[in-house]
Amino acid sequence: MKILIPADQIQQRVAELARQIARDYHDRPLTIVGVLTGSLIFLADLVRHLDLHLRIGLIQASSYRGETTTPGELTISPELLPELRGRHVLLLDDILDTGQTLVRLVERLQTLEIASLRTGVLLRKIGRQQVAFEPDYTGFDIPDAFVVGYGLDYNDEYRHLPYLAVLKDE
Ligand code: XMP
């Protein structure tokens, strides 16, 4: 495994993103909806920097299945979502790859009569997007490689690593 982004750089960037989000939402309550499972660590670190009127919700979406690094069919499970009607929502995911997951989730949340919707991702893979979609907050642009750590997994392993690493083919 090769370290792509060390832990201290991630922490620094998450704090910067939090400052930006705090500025943007200083005058309205915010609900951050994290996409399970990959955004868990990012969400937990980010919200601890935010001195705001804040609610947290979760939604599950998965497009990678087991021991494969290619996307499969997307399933969305909204059972864990709190009431979002009339709320200002920031949808938070770990990584923007093809963009299909976030686009589908945005479409889904927009059916819930929310007051506003923005999106944030920790990582955006360069040259992979299949849909024109620009997150409102992006942590890092990264090359097209399969990455693990800081919430991202391979077959549900490596999520606990405090840094981001590139998984080698073997
Ligand atoms: P799309 O293609 O819909 O993909 O933008 C978003 C979801 O795919 C997963 N994904 C990854 N997971 N390492 C991972 O551990 C990666 O390099 C990677 N690329 C995409 C992730 O679940 C994300 O939410």
Is the CB of residue 98 below 6 angstroms from any atom belonging to ligand 1?
yes
Q: 78: burial class by Cβ within 10 Å (0-12, 13-18, 19+)?
A: middle
Render pLDDT for 94-151 as a digit per residue (tens, 0 to 9).
999 999 999 999 999 999 999 999 999 999 999 989 888 999 999 999 999 999 999 9
* Active-site annotation holder among 93, 97, 153, 169: 97
- Model pLDDT, residue 65: 55
Q: Strand locations in the chain, DSSP E? A: 2-5, 30-36, 54-62, 75-77, 88-96, 116-125, 137-142, 147-148, 164-166
d(CA 148, ligand 1 centre) in Å: 10
- As a whole number of angstroms, the distance between CA 40 and CA 100 comes to 20
- Spatial distance between the Cα atoms of 7 and 2, rounded to a whole number of angstroms: 13
Q: Which atom of ligand 1 lies at the shortest distance from residue 145's CA?
A: 17
Distance 96 CA to ligand 1 centre (A): 7
Ligand 1 midpoint to CA 163 (Å): 16
Q: Is the pTM of this model over 0.85?
A: yes
Active site residue 97: yes
Write out the two tokens for 82: 């709190």
Atom of ligand 1 nearest to the CA of 38: 22
Residue 100 beta carbon below 6 angstroms from any ligand 1 atom: yes
**From CA 156, how far away is CA 62, in angstroms rounded?**
12
92 lines ligand 1 (CB under 6 A): no
User: Does the domain spanning 2-166 belong to CATH 3.40.50.2020?
Assistant: yes
Lowest mean pLDDT across 7-16, 41-50, 58-67, 157-166: 58-67
Q: Could you give the CA distance from residue 95 to residue 87 in angstroms, rounded to a whole number?
A: 24
pLDDT in tens, 11-47: 999 999 999 999 999 999 999 999 999 999 999 999 9
| Pairing outcome for strands 30-36 and 88-96 | parallel
